[in-house]
A and B are shown apart, each in its own frame.
Chain A
């Protein structure tokens, strides 16, 4: 059930796991959209020629996935702040899962803190971050 108000949020609750579209096609479209269409985001073979393991998903797309996950969980959530650490590359065409957990609730200011993690199929953390969001009371 989607969250619509703060009182529906429980401390320590897990957000529904989110499977982002980390296909090369989507990563390449995004990279071209924002003017970052270098081969490392658009072509596996060309990325390997740059010494990489393959094409990667742009870091800011990973950040966008985190926010989309929050809006899937709570559509009216207003993002106040998000801080993201790119620990390792999110490889295009590999399957990834985003998990999130509510780590703080500030009832006075109607805000919630959420820790977010992007992991690959091996369970390796690729990106993690913290978001602060505001919800209707």
Chain B
């Protein structure tokens, strides 16, 4: 398969294909922080005046699907990395909404052939619609020859 990446980008980028609600459980966020080795009290003490989920907590929240239902299957996907962007604190005890879209699609060619990278972004919003954070998952697929 020699996929036309520009065509695929035009068809799939920046279109929401999933939406999911999450409850930010204080018991989970504090344990998450503790297991990561956090020492800052604002992540560990639910009575702290600035109590918040640890910045990478949103990386643990998955949408219902990673790719649009009709996205071409190039090969087995592997986890190539994760990124987090923090815009406002995520407050435990609240509900947030994750909206998923494809943020980037690009290729790299090496000795073993062309690799296709797909960045799936979940944007998280609070109940007032404030944009809190972005969580990017980078998947790499080796193109079948």
Contact = CB atoms under 8 A, between A and B. Distances in A.
A67 B28 contact: no
B79 A64 contact: no
Report the interface size class on chain B.
20 to 34
A80 B59 CA distance: 14
A63 B54 CA distance: 11
B38 interface: yes
A72 to B, nearest CB: 6
Given A82-B83, A83-B83, A67 B38 contact: yes
What interface size band does chain A fall in? Answer: 20 to 34
Interface in A64-97: 64-65, 67-69, 71-72, 75, 78-86
B35 A67 contact: no
A20 B37 contact: yes
B82 A59 contact: yes
Q: Which of B39, B79, B82 has the most CB of A within 10 A?
A: B82
Interface of B: 28, 31-33, 35-40, 43, 54-56, 59-60, 79-86, 136
Interface of A: 18, 20-21, 26, 29-30, 33-34, 59-61, 63-65, 67-69, 71-72, 75, 78-86, 129
23 contacts: A21-B35, A26-B35, A30-B32, A33-B35, A34-B32, A59-B82, A60-B56, A61-B35, A63-B84, A64-B37, A65-B36, A65-B37, A67-B56, A75-B39, A75-B40, A79-B55, A79-B84, A81-B86, A84-B83, A85-B80, A86-B80, A86-B82, A129-B81
